[in-house]
Amino acid sequence: MVKTIMNFPQFGDADIYKDLGNDFHRWIKSGENPFGFESPLRPLGSILLSSLPVFITDDPVYRNYLILLINVAFMFIAVYSISGVLTTIFKDNEALSEKHISLFSFSLVLLYFIPHLPVRAMDIQPISLVLLSLKIMMETTTRINNDKPISYKNIFIILSLVSLAGLLKQSWFVFGLILILIMALDIRKELLIQILKEKRVYLYAIAGLWGLFLQVYYVYYNYGDVWLYSSESMEAYSAAWKYPNIALFAYTEPAHNAYLLKADSSVTYIEWIIVKLYFTVFVHDLAFYHGYIPYEYSVFYTNKTILSLMLLIELSLIGVLLATLFKGVSKVKLLSVFIIFIVLFMTWKSHVEIRNFIMPRMFIGILIVYWLVVMPSKLKLYKKQYVLPTIIILIVSITVINIYIKNQNETLGRSSLLSYLEKQVDYVKMYRLSEVGVNALAVDEGRMMEKLLEIKSRIYVKDNENKYVLSVLDVQNIIYENQSYIDGLQVK
């Protein structure tokens, strides 16, 4: 029998979920109490979903394909949900056909979900469930506003989907519930007051939040904390979202690891907010894991030009959000309120993995389509045939700015790295001339000096136009390869 094998990248969180699944499988097989299985940080749903392939098959390759199949299924749930949301928003407008809505929904979801499909992680699954709850919520509020009787079971279904999302990733208990509460404001005031007087509403709502109570009980049962995760387990992560940290990246070469991208030491707190907000909304990775990330890559260098461009893009987005609050239909207005909340919260206090920002970016995508397709026809700003060129110009402009920022950052990074190397060389020179250095200098340290000068000569290579040949990544690679010669030479 010939078995086709695909290489699924699995480490970091993926390895944690893999181990969780295997450990829980053994725990259950041994006849232990499921609630007694300890996981201080990962919620119950993520444990169950991670263990599902292990219960189905013993073959590790087939398990990987089952994870892929599960992730693809969630991707199509997201496509279906986004299509439903857009259909509700554009219901009374002929600017977008059903075909265009389906195409946009699939493209938007694919853009953000495809890096996650072969990976054991709990990012796209809860998002898909919250999107499905949003679709049902929008349809429910529309039905109520059309004076049709409220379906109480929908309250249970909507909040049950939020519960399931939270059981996969705890933050979605909060974000999902806030999203639903905000969207409930779409109901006409007199009808909303009437609904809130019904006792059954609260009974169905409490029943729908079963997952929240289950997770709190699970944590209390094992750790004594009345919260969604062990308070002690979160202490290790409490500094991750604080100044000067910007984002966390995982890489595969030369070993599986991760690093925190930090702002340059010259960046002030306000400038750090600008940079982090930019990364929250506008930086997208087409891969879940990076390749080779060498030494000293963990600093984001910036200057006034970079900060000005970032601020310009951010102010443009803020302008669109504020304009939507005044000119958009009620559902889009409320969606804008949620976007403002989730973006500001994630920028201020949230884990710094770029993958955590999928939901607000997808909502911003919906908002941009609304502004480029619906609002021009309402305000009679321009004709429909100008919409596609406007979208293309917008995408190209943001792409060009991103490329410029990246190139500027590389230039600043090269300068900083070369300065770093120069200081190491100068330090060794001073050490050799000092009295202690003359007495203590060994052959190895003499060779170290020669090696540093050799590294410098490799880096300072210019072409005919007197430009450096090596990129900042090449410089970093050279330093990384020769790190053993640089370790211990801390500049005093």
Q: State which amino acid sits at residue 192.
A: L
Q: What is the largest CA-CA distance in the chain?
A: 92
Distances (CA, A) of 24 to 13, 32, 47, 462, 485: 16, 10, 7, 57, 45
How far apart CA 289 and CA 239 sit, in angstroms, is: 22
Condensed to tens digits (0 to 9), the pLDDT of residues 340-378 reads 888 888 777 766 666 777 888 888 888 877 777 776 666
For residue 295, pLDDT over 50 is answered with no
Q: Which residue has the tokens 């949230």?
A: 350
Alpha-carbon torsion, ordered 143, 146, 152, 154, to 10 deg: 10
Task: Tell me if 279 sits within 8 A of 246, measured CB to CB.
Answer: yes
For residue 426, pLDDT over 50 is answered with yes
Condensed to tens digits (0 to 9), the pLDDT of residues 17-50 reads 888 888 998 999 888 888 888 888 889 999 999 9
Please name which of 287, 301, 310, 492 lies closest in space to residue 401, comparing C-alpha atoms. 310
How far apart CA 50 and CA 44 sit, in angstroms, is: 10
Distance in Å from the first CA to the final CA of the chain: 64
pLDDT for res 207 = 95
**Percent of the chain predicted with pLDDT > 90:** 21
3-state secondary structure 419-458: HHHHHHHHHHHHHHHCHHHHHHCCHHHHHHHHHHHHHHHH
> What is the bridge-based pairing of β-strands 245-253 and 257-263?
antiparallel
- What is the per-residue DSSP string for 401-423? HHHHHHHHHHHHHHHHHHHHHHH
Q: Where are the domains of the chain?
A: 13-234, 245-381, 404-486
pLDDT band at 52 (very low <50, low <70, confident <90, very high): very high
Task: Tell me if 318 sits within 8 A of 277, measured CB to CB.
Answer: no
Other CB atoms closer than 10 Å to residue 488's CB: what's the count? 7
Give the global pTM.
0.79
